[in-house]
Amino acid sequence: MLEAIATAIEAEDYRGAAQLLKPLLKSDLRNPWVQFYVGRVQEGLGKTSEAEKRYRQLLPQVTNPKLMTQVRQGIARITALQMNAKEGAIAAALSAPGGQTLGALILEPLVNLDKKAAAQAFGAVMNIDAYTARLQLPSRGWRFYRTGKMGELHYYTQQLRQAQIPCFALPLTKLSELNVFTVQYFAAGGVAPTVRCINGEGQKGSLSFQWSEVSQRVEGRIPLFESVVTVDAKHRIVRKTQLQDYVVFCDLHLPERNCILRLSEHRYQFLNGITLTPALAPGEPETVSQSWQYLMAFLKEKLPSVVVWSDFASFADTVLDFRETLSRIPAQLDLERRHASLWDPAFHLYSGLAYWRQAPASPAPQSQLPPAF
């Protein structure tokens, strides 16, 4: 019977071989040759996933050298087919419009998913071992996983989503499509608020909008560093960089205007515009930190239900090693630094990713500031 099955398979008569296998599945199912021929029939009928799974389960149990060789050959054939299909799909995606554009692949946190199963699926898609894959999958916050051409990244996002692993890819050129306005202060804060702000060219002007236009807030703390001179244990003068302080930023996204209103603790003019703080007792000092908290409370009151992105710190941990990518991104953060810091473009990237993750597919016409006053 086994010889007849082998002959049918060699003649590519897989349905005939399947008929010959039926009685053996009841009487001799534990026979490794029967299991192998079941896999060959599945492979021949195009059920390569089932065949590969059967081959890999069978391989550790096989002691017959001839059968072991054939099982390994079956795994090799399926692997080659998968690689050819993958290369073809990526090539097609790269040739599509925008396929050559540089982009980023972002992994989103796993929610209510079996991380072990997700790691196996992730490893299969990205061709890495399950242990390494498990370390790469985030439990909270986004992970900046890799850069590459958008055609290739689109292929991977499709494969990962089919495996129920949340992710998305974004062309980095989308960041330059956003107008970022640095807010100096709120000149009016009613139903139709107005901000005094500065555009990317340094022009000052005013922008009025509706609170309903704000789709989300993005918050983050950016570290400031200073160079200090100390003396080490051997009484040698050593120059090193150390953390000095943090500056808090808050972005308001207005997708209908294709712009971001960027507020920062050190640039907001708390003495101008609307009153945000309660009356202070005579002689009681008011700190910048207190004033910022009042500003945030004001925004929370006006925007009680908008999405808030506040996991910048965990995102930064995953992106700061991508120095070349971050060096291509204009920071658009008005921070006085002696030396450029990758933290600045990292925050702009985080905010831009959040913007395009939620923004409509068709961007709105760009909003422009009036001429400088």
CB 144 within 8 A of CB 104: yes
- Model pLDDT for residues 47-96, shown as the tens digit of each residue: 998 999 999 999 998 889 999 999 999 999 998 888 888 888 888 888 88
What would the two tokens of residue 250 be?
């808050």
pLDDT tens-digit readout, 83-136: 888 888 888 888 888 889 999 999 999 887 788 889 999 998 998 998 999 999
CATH number, domain 96-172: 3.30.1390.10
Query: Could you tell me if 348 and 255 are in contact, meaning their C-beta atoms sit under 8 angstroms apart?
Result: no
Q: What is the mean pLDDT of the chain?
A: 88
In Å, how far from its chain's centre is CA 248? 23
Residues whose CB falls within 8 Å of the CB of residue 337, separated by 6 or more in sequence, listed in order: 224, 225, 344
Residues 145-156 pLDDT 10s: 999 999 999 999
Please give the pLDDT value at position 284. Answer: 56
What is the token pair recorded at 196?
């005094």
SS3 62: coil
**What are the residue boundaries of the structural domains of the chain, listed by start?**
2-93, 96-172, 178-276+283-358
Q: What is the CATH architecture of 2-93?
A: Alpha Horseshoe (1.25)
Provide the H-helix boundaries in the chain. 2-10, 14-27, 32-44, 48-58, 65-95, 115-126, 130-136, 150-162, 288-302, 312-319, 323-327, 343-358
- pLDDT > 70 fraction of the chain, expressed in percent and rounded: 93
Which range among 89-103, 200-214, 313-327, 357-371 shows the weakest confidence by mean pLDDT? 357-371
DSSP strand pairing (307-309 vs 216-231):
parallel
SS3 14: helix
pLDDT at position 373, please? 39
Residue 336's pLDDT is what? 79
Report whether 157 contacts 166 (CB < 8 A): no
Note whether 168 and 104 are within 8 A (CB): no
Phi, psi of 241 (to 5 degrees): -105, 130
Which one has a higher pLDDT value, 360 or 311? 311
Question: What's the pLDDT score for residue 214?
Answer: 95
Which residues are CB-contacts of 190 (< 8 A; sequence separation ≥ 6)? none
Stated pTM of the model: 0.80
